[in-house]
Structure 1
Amino acid sequence: MKQILSDTTTRLRSLYSRHQKAFPILSFIAGFAWDSWTLNRIDRLSDNLILLAYILCAGLLIVINHLYTFKKVRHPIWDKFAPYLSDARQFFFGGLFSSYVVFYFKSAALTKNWLFVLFLLVLLVSNEFIKDRLQALKIQIYYFYLALFSFFIFFLPVVFKTLSTWFFIASGLLSGGFTLGMVLFLGHKTESDLYPWLKQFIRPLGIFYLLFNLLYFMNIIPPVPLSLKHAGIYHSVKKEGTRYRLTLSDKPWYQFYKTYDDPFYYTQKDCVYCFSAVFAPTDLHTRIYHRWQWYNPFTEQWEASDNLSYAIHGGRERGYRGYTYKKHLRSGDWRVDILNDQDQILGRVSFQAVKDTLDNRRMHTIYR
């Protein structure tokens, strides 16, 4: 048995030596694919506890590594494991930002939301492939703050079962408090003058905080922990038991990919329905708004038509379902923005309304 283990270890070392350059890329792809597959719910307790453990471990490794560098911790065990501290810290940061990319991507609705997802992706990739530049304590502290801030943005609403701008503000303040606490502890252990030591971190962290607030109020940060699972335009929506029956007009075979009516052919007596399914964490109560807008070709502006809403109760895997409808439709281009009560856009449905003289258009139904 020992011989088998020894031979296996030798083969693995040989394999690693031959393909050492490819391993970081392969591990990065495998890790990201694993997170995309396993991280299904942003409110799952086990996932959030793992992320919280990653944050604690990353912070602890930053502290240990800095104290070891200044020879403030002395023990044979640290001498043995010191060469691996940076790799371990890289692993935990990689796990955090990989998870954040998955969660924030699922909530990203508009092109501008992707800018924040891209920012998280840049942090993830830089953590994996420019490790040497991340050895500076300042960079590690900034990474820790961003990881903590990105976590609290969705974790606080999950814990308190409600949405609020104050939770976002509190997320940044809590993250800054914990981060500066760690900086203060390190300065107390390694620096003779705390004020200049602390000052060099306060300004950059303050800039990050203000920048995140700017992105939030510009609707660039995706509206986590909510995410839009489905939205569409239909001729009728009716609830039958636990399902919703959606009616839409028949499409040519080559438009198999269309799951709702666009263009929407209507007669004078028809109503148009917007159906949406929004995922929210378990027991979270809020309202979802459908903002109907019509494009005025003369002014070349979108004009508000209706702002309708319905209440949701979080917990359903495929999203809490609801709908609004509109009478007296006008021909032309329409869009319906799906928003939360913080006025953050979860998604958008666009369609063209075409007045139809026929009243016998063929329809079919789907269930959700």
Structure 2
Amino acid sequence: MNRAVTKFRNSAFSAYLKRNQKYAPITFFIGGFIFDSLTLGRIDRAYDLTMLCIHMTSLTFTIYAFNLVGDGRWHGTFLKRFEPYFPLAIQFFFGALSSAYVIYFSRSVSLTKTVSFFTILVILFVANEFLKRRISNKYLQFSVYSFISFTFFTFMVPVWIKYMNTYVFILSGLISVGCTLALIWKVYRASAQTRKEVHLGKLLSLVIGIYALINVFYFFNLIPPVPLALNSGLVAHQVKYENDKYAVLYEKDEWYVFWRTHRLKLLWRPTENVYVFTSIFAPTNLEKSIFHRWKWYNPKIESWEVVEDIGIKIRGGRADGYRGYTYKHWVRPGQWEVEVITEEGLVLGVVDFEIVRTRETGSRSTAVKVF
């Protein structure tokens, strides 16, 4: 072990860190992001689960080790040689985990409903670059750890038990708080310096406050229901199912609208149905009831009216998402939106469109996409 440590200290990488010490934090920050971007795919994939668990376990151990440095706990051990790298390791794992959450949440986020929580994740991800000078601040350190731990368990517990609802979310939060408090207590008991620097009541209040804040976000439907994710959603003239394929007939948008393929204005004749097709990713063997909430904007009262909730039972496991559709015959011209929601009312995404009444079909520019 000593030979390996000596070899590392004399390596080109170690020399690079010493020469470019002020750039090391952003290097590790970007490294964590690139690592996740290149390696993470599906939240229920064995590799993803393993890497997230390794990141979380390593972060926990590194925070524990770092907070005992001031007490000389690692004198005479092989960890002594790695003490200068503990802050960088913490930053790497903060960056890797927060970027993973940004990647997963971005697949599920509805910008009209859950952008606030997603913004917090992005801010945490970006702010990680500036944590080096404050990483020794134990209040900040354990607050960030508490938030990341909560998010970690809200992802992992539903994947492990193949079930998700409000009680599972609460359970995930309690497990997270328990792990965070256990780490704080372990550090507090082992480190005399921590006992001098930290007021335990204040630190515990911060952790409980973060727990309460995330629950407020959840019960106000401001958190996307991960690990579920809306892969695609569009309004269509017709959906046909044949040979385990869905053929969706939709209106094409103008050529210069490169960020989407379907048109948001649907030319509709009164004799036609209006369809909304969605594909929803869910972890393998996870079953969940999903609803399409059809809403019409009433210009007279300037408010959205719920027209109908139509349920779909999904079962996870398909890489491109569980496919399904709902339709309505009795519709009115105007602005519509279909919220894709869970039983608890959490929003996976929103399909917006406008119905324009017409008597002719020749002006339509349509295409068929197979899912």
SS in structure 2 opposite 1:172?
A: helix
Q: Tell me the equivalent position of 2:370.
A: 367
Q: 1:330 aligns with which of 323, 329, 332?
A: 332
What does residue 91 of structure 2 align with? Answer: 90
Alignment match of 1:223 (pick from 197, 200, 225):
225
The letter of the residue matching 1:200 is K
Q: CA deviation at 1:304?
A: 1.1
- Superposition deviation, residue 188 in structure 1: 2.4
Equivalent position SS for 1:107: coil
Aligned residue identity for 1:185: K
* 1:14-163 matched pairs, under 5 angstroms: 24-25=25-26, 28-29=29-30, 31-163=32-164
SS at match of 2:354: strand
Q: More deviation in 10-19 or 92-101? A: 10-19
Aligned to 1:151, what secondary structure does the other structure show? helix
Letter in 1 for 2:218: Y
How far did residue 69 of structure 1 move? 1.3
1:154-203 deviation line (CA, Å, top 9, x unaligned):
11111111111112111221111111112222222235998x95423221
Structure 1 residue aligned with 2:309: 307
Distance in 2 (alpha carbons) for counterparts of 1:305 and 1:106:
27
Matches of 1:169 and 1:232, distance apart in 2: 33
Give the distance between the partners of 1:109 and 1:232, measured in 2 at CA: 14
Contact 2:24/2:88 (<8 A) preserved:
no
Judged with a 3 Å threshold, the aligned counterparts in structure 2 of structure 1 residues 180 and 106 are, in CA distance, closer, same or farther, namely same
CA deviations on 1:253-296 (whole Å, 9 max, x unpaired) are 55576533532122221000010001111111012211111111
The TM-score normalised by the length of structure 1 is: 0.88
- Identify the residue that residue 285 of structure 2 maps to in structure 1: 283
In 2 relative to 1, CA 250–125 (structure 1 residues): closer, same or farther, beyond 3 Å? closer
TM-score by length of 2: 0.88
Please state how far the C-alpha of 1:71 moved relative to its aligned partner: 2.7
| Shift of residue 26, structure 1, vs aligned partner | 5.3
Evaluate the alpha carbon distance shift between residue 172 and residue 118 of structure 1 in structure 2; reply closer, same or farther with a 3 A threshold. Answer: same
| RMSD, matched Cα | 2.7
Matched, 1:239 2:241: yes
Q: How do 1:254-293 and structure 2 match up within 5 A?
A: 254=256, 258-293=260-295
Find 2:299's aligned residue among 287, 297, 317: 297
Amino acid at match of 1:353: I
- Structure 1 residue 249: Cα displacement: 4.2
Change over 3 Å in CA distance of 1:287–1:259 after alignment to 2:
farther
Conserved 8 A contact 1:191-1:197 = no
C-alpha contact (below 8 Å) 2:253/2:262 kept by paired residues = no
Q: What is the rounded CA distance, in whole Å, between the counterparts of 2:93 and 2:259 in structure 1?
A: 40
SS at match of 2:212: helix
SS at match of 2:107: helix
Partner SS, residue 108 of structure 1: coil
Aligned length: 360
Given that residues 43 and 283 in structure 2 are in contact (C-alpha distance below 8 angstroms), is that contact kept between their aligned partners in structure 1?
yes
| CA deviation string 1:321-351 (max 9, x = no partner) | 0000001121111111111222111111111
Structure 2 unaligned residues grouped into runs of 5+: 1-6
Q: 1:107 to 1:250 in 2, by over 3 A?
A: closer
For the Cα contact (< 8 Å) 1:187–1:197, is it kept in 2? Answer: no
What is the alpha-carbon distance in structure 2 between the residues aligned to residue 106 and residue 292 of structure 1? 22
SS of the equivalent of 1:323 reads strand
Partner Cα distance (2:324, 2:340) in 1: 11
Q: In the TM superposition, what is the alpha-carbon distance from 1:32 to its structure 2 partner?
A: 2.1
Asked whether the 8 Å contact 1:291–1:307 carries over to 2, the reply is yes
CA gap 1:193/1:258 in 2 versus in 1, 3 angstroms: closer
Give unpaired runs (5+ residues) of structure 1: 1-5
Q: Which residue identity is paired with 1:322?
A: G
Distance between the aligned counterparts of 2:254 and 2:204, measured in 1? 61
Distance of aligned partners of 1:60 and 1:354 in 2 relative to their CA distance in 1, 3 Å threshold: same
